[in-house]
Amino acid sequence: MWNATSVPEFHFIQLSEDPDLQPVLFGIFLSMYILALFGNLLIILTVSSDSHLHTPLYFFLSSLSMVDIGFISTTVPRVIVDIQTHCPVISYVGCLTQMSLLIIFACMDDMLLAVMAYDRFVAICHPLYYQVIMNPSRCGVLLLGCFLLSLLELLLHYLAVLNFSNCENYIEISNFFCGPSELLKLSCFDTVTSNIVRYCVGALFGLLPISGIIFSYLKIVSSIMRSSTSSGKQKTFSTCGSHLSIVCLFYGTGLGVFFSSSLSLSPRNNAVASVMYSAITPMLNPFIYSLRNKDIKTALKKILSIAF
């Protein structure tokens, strides 16, 4: 029996114990991090430099890019350092800090995707009132609401994972970062209580946003079907296609992490699923938007023509 606040450090599992694979893993994670930073910073620069993109949709897109930078910066740099030092160890305070940042950025990602779906719903189903409904002050309130809900989720996790006294002495984390699921397994709650906390938080911050996204797109599809012109349908599908791709990528990888943790799969399988969620998704998001969105591609061409 022990008090976790007296434990100086936690140990992560290694993605591979083969020393020949360490340089390969180092190169993969470093490449993913550089691509994610480059892509998301390019989206932010493009939106801020082109006045035609100063709309609610691209305001939320640039906010999503900033959140993705924070999201991937919470985990991947630590992995790169651990691979180089061959010492996957983190302090108790550092572990809680990493978990806190991870929850905030992941929840904001979640909420921003729902807000962007709402923005598309208003733009397509109520175009005459779009400027009135999605005015700058309301956009700011929606962004602030996403942040406050992220803090609420963090508080709910803290109430669970900080209850470490009188627990068994398990200090190995079955992942390469301090996620809420891993720390919840180390808390003093029994398995049933831990699962109740996990599912309640998952329903509140997972099902509600995805329900809003599904409702918004059902209304959008209904509106598209009533459109009389094929060009209008094509433009609407083009606008929404990028967002839907990111939604599928984010929730697909997120559900993979959730179920791999819930079903008690091997730690390495859980770690692989976590790589998809915490690294590959933030890396691919900006490229999905830049490749599928005409406005972004046009603005990028202008920037490149000025630069070169």
Q: Provide the residue ranges of all domains of the chain, joining segments of one domain with +.
A: 4-307
Q: Does domain 4-307 have CATH number 3.40.50.1000?
A: no
First to last CA, the chain: 65
SS3 for 164? coil
What's the whole-number average pLDDT of the chain? 80
Query: Is 270 within 8 Å of 257 (Cβ atoms)?
Result: yes
Averaged pLDDT, 261-289: 75
Averaged pLDDT, 4-30: 75
With 60 as the cut, is the pLDDT of residue 190 above it? no
| Helix 208-225 / helix 230-262 crossing angle, nearest 10 deg | 160
Look at residues 3, 24, 6, 5 and name the one whose alpha carbon lies nearest to residue 15. Answer: 24
pLDDT of residue 79: 87
Tens digits of residue pLDDT in 205-232? 778 888 889 999 888 888 877 765 666 5
pLDDT band at 163 (very low <50, low <70, confident <90, very high): low
pLDDT band at 7 (very low <50, low <70, confident <90, very high): low
In terms of pLDDT, which residue wins out, 37 or 82? Answer: 37
Query: Is 288 within 8 Å of 246 (Cβ atoms)?
Result: yes
pLDDT of residue 165: 46
Query: CA-CA distance, 106 to 99, in Å (whole number)?
Result: 10
Lowest mean pLDDT among 79-93, 125-139, 208-222: 79-93
Backbone dihedral region for residue 166 (phi beyond 0: left; psi -120 to 50: alpha; all else: beta)? left
Instruction: Give the largest CA-CA distance in the chain.
Output: 70
Averaged pLDDT, 128-148: 93
pLDDT of residue 1: 40
pLDDT band at 73 (very low <50, low <70, confident <90, very high): very high
pLDDT band at 4 (very low <50, low <70, confident <90, very high): very low
Q: Does pTM surpass 0.75? A: yes
pLDDT of residue 306: 74
Dihedral sign, CA of 49, 47, 57, 228?
Answer: positive
In terms of pLDDT, which residue wins out, 37 or 175? Answer: 37
Tens digits of residue pLDDT in 100-113? 899 899 899 989 99
Averaged pLDDT, 174-178: 78
Q: Number of helices and strands (H, E) in the chain?
A: 12, 3
With 60 as the cut, is the pLDDT of residue 8 above it? no
Parallel, antiparallel, or unpaired for β 89-91 and 172-173?
unpaired
In terms of pLDDT, which residue wins out, 50 or 145? Answer: 145
Parallel, antiparallel, or unpaired for β 172-173 and 9-12?
parallel
